């Protein structure tokens, strides 16, 4: 091709490129769930201090335009939230070797110089252990009740806790203290 022909063509393309603007679409990012996400996972919220937690659940039951609403177990939900609240702190304690998973499904203090020397730190650690174990006991008992055991006795709760302990041993990270079924403490390898 001749240079005299290329010059006008390149001038036209240059003009088009310079005169065109590309504007990206406006994107608003929010922490809100979409309608579909809320429908799939349901919405859990505490309405007021003494109210029940409610969840909408999609079922195949048709009720003349009404959404089927199932009342939640506020006690179980609260215990699960306590565990969620303490999760990072307990992970830190486990990393330090100050907490171990017992074979009963509860956590226990493992003597460490850091906490043996500082009474205030040790009291805080023991408060976390107490709240965690209380939440776990509540979860064990409420889970049994929800599964159909009307008034679970201590032996049934203990058995449930031991099954939970088995899961915790399997989920433990390397170097976490775990108590085996015979009661011996070891570090997870």
User: What integer pLDDT is reported at residue 149 of this predicted model?
Assistant: 87
- pTM value is 0.61
Residue of higher predicted confidence among 40 and 88 = 88
User: What integer pLDDT is reported at residue 27 of this predicted model?
Assistant: 64
Per residue in 6-55, pLDDT (tens digit) is 555 555 555 555 565 666 666 666 666 555 555 555 554 444 444 444 44
User: What integer pLDDT is reported at residue 61 of this predicted model?
Assistant: 43
Per residue in 173-189, pLDDT (tens digit) is 999 999 999 999 999 98
User: What integer pLDDT is reported at residue 147 of this predicted model?
Assistant: 84
What Å distances lie between residue 18 and 6, 15, 22, 159, CA to CA?
18, 5, 11, 75
| Residue 64 in this model has a pLDDT that exceeds 50 | no
- Domain positions in the chain are 35-71, 74-187
Per residue in 107-146, pLDDT (tens digit) is 999 999 999 999 999 999 999 999 999 999 999 998 888 8
User: What integer pLDDT is reported at residue 65 of this predicted model?
Assistant: 41
Q: Mean per-residue pLDDT for 147-176?
A: 91
User: What integer pLDDT is reported at residue 47 of this predicted model?
Assistant: 44
Q: Which of 63-67, 106-110, 160-164 has the lowest mean pLDDT?
A: 63-67
């Amino acid at each position: 091709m001749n240079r005299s022909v290329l010059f006008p063509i390149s001038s036209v393309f240059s003009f088009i490129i310079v005169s065109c603007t590309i504007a990206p679409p406006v994107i608003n990012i929010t922490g809100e769930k979409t309608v579909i996400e809320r429908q799939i996972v349901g919405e859990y919220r505490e309405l007021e201090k003494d109210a029940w937690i409610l969840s909408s659940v999609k079922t195949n039951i048709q009720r003349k335009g009404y959404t089927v609403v199932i009342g939640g177990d506020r006690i179980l939900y609260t215990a699960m939230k306590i565990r969620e609240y303490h999760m990072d702190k307990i992970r830190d304690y486990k990393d330090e070797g100050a907490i171990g998973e017992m074979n009963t499904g509860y956590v226990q203090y493992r003597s460490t110089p850091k906490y043996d020397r500082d009474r205030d730190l040790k009291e805080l650690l023991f408060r976390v252990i107490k709240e965690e174990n209380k939440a776990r006991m509540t979860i064990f008992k409420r889970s049994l009740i929800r599964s159909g055991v009307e008034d679970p006795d201590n032996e049934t709760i203990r058995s449930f806790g031991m099954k939970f302990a088995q899961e915790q041993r399997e989920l433990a990270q390397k170097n976490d203290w775990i108590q085996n079924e015979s009661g011996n403490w070891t570090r997870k390898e």
